[in-house]
Chains A and B, each alone.
Chain A
Amino acid sequence: GQQVMQIPQYQHVQEGEDFTTYCNSSTTLSNIQWYKQRPGGHPVFLIQLVKSGEVKKQKRLTFQFGEAKKNSSLHITATQTTDVGTYFCADPTNFGNEKLTFGTGTRLTIIP
């Protein structure tokens, strides 16, 4: 069935360093969503990408959707302690039922 894999599973960075997480699908996606979950918190929607090759920015966060719509990435420039959490990509397409399938997540920790 449909699988959405994320790498890396964990990432530890010094504050101020950049961070990137990658999301890969075994099939073509119609669109993709990104969520952030703080430790002990609940997922919070960040963005949705729809178009092939789309790039969107939110302050220090840059989101990309691959040309083939099978992969996506989230890049954070100059990480801050507030960036700590787990970042999930989520696939809204699954067997035509359009249910949200979350990726495995990348857990980001910041070393002050």
Chain B
Amino acid sequence: EDQVTQSPEALRLQEGESSSLNCSYTVSGLRGLFWYRQDPGKGPEFLFTLYSAGEEKEKERLKATLTKKESFLHITAPKPEDSATYLCAVQANYNTDKLIFGTGTRLQVFP
């Protein structure tokens, strides 16, 4: 069964304290892996798509990387405005549209 597991469930960081969020997945064939940011009470905001192992994408203080079994979202020198829930999702080769989501990592950055 296709599955996505995110860890940790929650993460508290001091402003400027870099860290990484993990997304491990099991699918029969990966078409793409997606990272989203979700603020409380709002819809997810698209961040990155990764397609193959070794691929990296960057946006401001965020960098996403992909291996054959997991993806990391690295947050460098976070600011309080980076506080949000970060969601990971995978799309399997055999299904062109269905995204399988993890339960997310809730990040809190304190000044």
- Do A and B originate from a single complex? no
Interface residues of B (CB under 8 A from A): none
